[in-house]
Structure 1
Amino acid sequence: MSELRERAEELMVEAVKLARSGEVELSRKYVRLALTYVAKGRVRLPREMRRSYCRRCFSPLVLGLTESRRVKRKTLIRRCLLCGWVRRYRLRGQTEES
């Protein structure tokens, strides 16, 4: 794994910790810096980390603090509580076998 990817992952983890402690503005800067490292190194973050920040305001999504989640019709709806950005993910259900 490249050094830039490792550093970006560390920054994303620290951004979540800062958001939980109330430092949302600093955590936004960490997310932006992590995304800059990923872009310059031409590497990809893991899926969990790609989905862990708001694409509009770059705040880390922490359930109950900066994010709300709900499930409706086999769809997970995630909403940023700071800017209102919404992302929908289709949930895979178990299929019935005849």
Structure 2
Amino acid sequence: MSIAEERIDILFDLARSAASDGEFDRSRKYVRLARRIAERNRCGLPREFKRFTCSRCDVALRPGVNARVRLNNGHVVIRCDCGATQRYPYK
């Protein structure tokens, strides 16, 4: 694991804890920094990072705090408070 990937993991953990505490601006800053590190070092983002960050407002998604999670016709549907929706299939 490279230094960049370790840093992305650390920033995602910080973003999730900030979102849990209701500090969405701080969470947004951590997510944007992690995405910038991934772009600069040309390493991909982990699946968990992609699925639990909002692509529209860049905040870490915490079910029950700032996101709704529903199951619908073989898909997991996650809706952020900003209105953005993500869908992905499950088996």
TM-score (norm 2): 0.94
Q: Distance in 2 between matches of 1:36 and 1:19?
A: 19
Equivalence for 1:76: 76
CA distance in 2, matches of 1:41, 1:25: 25
| Structure 1: 4+ residue segments shifted above 4 A | none
> Superposition RMSD on alpha carbons, in Å?
0.9
Query: What corresponds to 1:96 in structure 2?
Result: none
Whether the 8 Å contact between 1:75 and 1:88 is mirrored in structure 2 is: yes
Alignment match, 1:50: 50
Q: Percent of aligned pairs with the same residue?
A: 38
Show the counterpart of 2:64. 64
Q: Describe how 1:1-98 pairs up with structure 2 within 5 A.
A: 1-81=1-81, 83-92=82-91
Unaligned runs of 5+ in 2: none
What CA distance in whole angstroms lies between the structure 2 residues aligned with 1:73 and 1:45?
27
CA distance in 2, matches of 1:42, 1:9: 15
Contact 1:71 1:77 in 2 (8 A): yes
Deviations 1:62-98 (A, max 9, x none): 00111101111111111001x1000111121xxxxxx
From the CA coordinates, give the structure whose radius of gyration is larger.
1
The total of aligned residue pairs comes to 91
SS at match of 1:40: helix
Which runs of no fewer than 5 residues in structure 1 stay unpaired? 93-98
Equivalent position SS for 1:89: strand
AA aligned to 2:45 is L
